[in-house]
Amino acid sequence: MAKLGEEQKKELKGKRFLLIRNQESLDEDALGQLETLRAEFEDLGTAWLLKEALRNIYSMTYDSATARLAFELWCGKAAASGIACLKTMAKTIRSHIGGILGYWRHGSFTNASHEGFNNKIGWLTRQAYGHRDEEYLHLKIYGLPHLATRRDL
């Protein structure tokens, strides 16, 4: 945005969610606006297409060998796009491909539940700041799955 002129900035203002949302979640009007943006801003259009292609790898591949091939093709296209952020992402995917393919090797299992639990532990330790009873903190951690971390307003 910093490199764009005032007219182009006005054109892009408020359109970020068109690029972030999934293609199937957009209505006809939003799809039309997205097509206009893709035609006007070539790099954004390329980035959006590669985002959708990356999403499709997860929905269309059923084994790790096919996923590996799909990721390699995607990384090649990202590197050829000439967009610095996509090149960096391709490099990251290539360096972590073993862990990424674990999704297919282990029955579409992710670590999302572990990440959520770790966030709850972090929340609990922030709430207990200043308390010195470490044993009580451990008991509270065991009780976290049953603890609501939100308050109803």
Q: Could you tell me the pTM of the whole model? A: 0.69
**Residues of the domain holding 122:** 112-146
The verdict on 96 and 124 lying in the same domain is no
The verdict on 71 and 141 lying in the same domain is no
- pLDDT at res. 142: 84
Chunked mean pLDDT (size 10), the chain, 153 residues: 79 82 87 87 89 92 94 96 94 94 86 85 84 82 74 64
Amino acid at 58: Y
- pLDDT at res. 148: 67
- pLDDT at res. 18: 84
- pLDDT at res. 75: 97
- pLDDT at res. 147: 67
How far apart CA 138 and CA 114 sit, in angstroms, is 17
DSSP-derived 3-state class of residue 9: helix
- The number of folded domains in the chain is 2
How far apart CA 70 and CA 25 sit, in angstroms, is 24
- pLDDT at res. 143: 82
Each residue of 137-148: pLDDT tens digit? 888 888 877 766
Q: What is the dihedral of CA 137, 143, 146, 151, to 10 degrees?
A: -20
The verdict on 88 and 14 lying in the same domain is yes
